Amino acid sequence: MSRSRLRTVFLLAATAFALAAGPSFAKSRIKDIVSFEGVRDNQLIGYGIVVGLNGSGDSLRNAPMTKQSLEAMLERQGVNVRNANLNTKNVASVMVTANLPAFAAPGAKMDVSVSTLGDAKSLLGGTLLVTSLQGADGQTYAVAQGSVQTGSVSAGGASGSSISKGVPTAGRIAAGGIIEKETGFQMVNMEELRMTLRNPDFTTSRRISDVINGRFPYSAQAQNPTIVAVRPPANMDMISFITAIENLEVEPDGPAKVIIDEVAGVIVMGDDVRISQVAIAQGNLTISVQESPAVSQPAPFSQGQTAVVPQSTVSVEEEKGKQLLTLNAGASLKSLVGGLNALGVTPRDMISILQAVKAAGALQADIEVM
């Protein structure tokens, strides 16, 4: 067989294979569409004081908690200031917050956020003293300390004028928290684990269980649109099992939905949005009112007064040339968007059109207005 005929046969075979393969669908890994039970952050909170501020801290007269905290802290250091007249503005009461990562071990570090409680003007240059951070159960899981970075600029003049960039009353301490206690969640010995879909859907839940059971028979069960329960085979622990299934690919599904943000004029439509047969016409009516004041002069010796007389000019313009758009039954998102763009509608006009089409019963999707 000659080289040219061989090339022709190869091209025909490749074309036939491409036609037989059919359309490809976008798939996602299981780890990207679900969250695993127990694998989550835990929020921590604590109360502390920031020192070293350049006169931008709390006024002790207006913030009694700052004065009490300062006195208690100094007494723990062996300094008695109960009878002293404290009048510093270099200290501020703050709330410290952080997210405890899942499976974090004692000694690991994390970032913390610091926010003022009183009338402090800025935390720039301040240092947070040792602050314990508690969880929702009241137990201490971490401590925080360090220099506060606000990433803002604030300046003021003697006349009271001021300028600021960013928020100087809140900041962060990079790696300022040290974990002291684990949450105690043990995953390796679990016999069953539940996976939670980030976008609940019956079809997606069933597809996930089918893909997992195809790899590990009788290991997964779709309990509802949100939860898929999995059990590792007898010869695997939970960590090894999750590692094996989290990279399996699934084609997610979901209901047809149109998201509308009327404030920003943003419209987001899914590819499953369908339109029944409907006709749409859109036109713009512009009414313009112009005020051109005129001066009225009185006749000589009439004892009248000069007056300003308003004169109004009203014009009405209606946009011409807009055609009636007809969409056949089962029209896709591409047809809908193309037709509306052909009418030259703006996003805000498109919002009104979509709501009217939905009211007419021709939009086969849910509309969610933000």
Q: What is the dihedral of CA 334, 198, 254, 364, to 10 degrees?
A: -80
Kindly give the residue spans of alpha helices, DSSP state H, lying in 295-362.
333-343, 347-359
pLDDT of residue 321 exceeding 70: no
What is the rounded average pLDDT of the residues 283-296?
60
pTM surpassing 0.85? no
Q: What percent of the chain has pLDDT over 90?
A: 42
**8 A C-beta contact, residue 130 and residue 143:** yes
3-state secondary structure of 191: coil
pLDDT confidence of residue 117: 93
What is the rounded average pLDDT of the residues 300-325?
62
pLDDT of residue 299 exceeding 90: no
pLDDT confidence of residue 288: 55
**8 A C-beta contact, residue 50 and residue 126:** yes
pLDDT of residue 224 exceeding 90: yes
What is the rounded average pLDDT of the residues 328-338?
67
Band (205; pLDDT cuts 50, 70, 90): very high
**8 A C-beta contact, residue 135 and residue 100:** yes
**8 A C-beta contact, residue 206 and residue 222:** yes
Least Cα distance to 150 among 177, 130, 121 occurs for: 121
pLDDT confidence of residue 246: 94
- Extents of the domains making up the chain: 42-152+166-179, 186-250, 257-292+310-369
Which of residues 294 and 146 earns the better pLDDT score?
146
pLDDT confidence of residue 85: 79
**8 A C-beta contact, residue 135 and residue 93:** no
Distance between CA atoms of 103 and 215, rounded to whole angstroms?
A: 28
Chain centroid to Cα 351, Å, comes to 22
Residue type, 91: V
Looking at mean pLDDT, say which of 51-65, 273-287, 303-317 comes out highest. Answer: 51-65
What is the rounded average pLDDT of the residues 240-245?
94
Band (332; pLDDT cuts 50, 70, 90): low
pLDDT of residue 242 exceeding 90: yes
Helix (H) or strand (E) holding 276: none
pLDDT confidence of residue 82: 76
Q: What is the pLDDT of residues 79-119, one digit of tens each?
A: 888 777 788 899 999 999 999 998 899 999 999 999 999 99
Distance between CA atoms of 168 and 151, rounded to whole angstroms?
A: 8
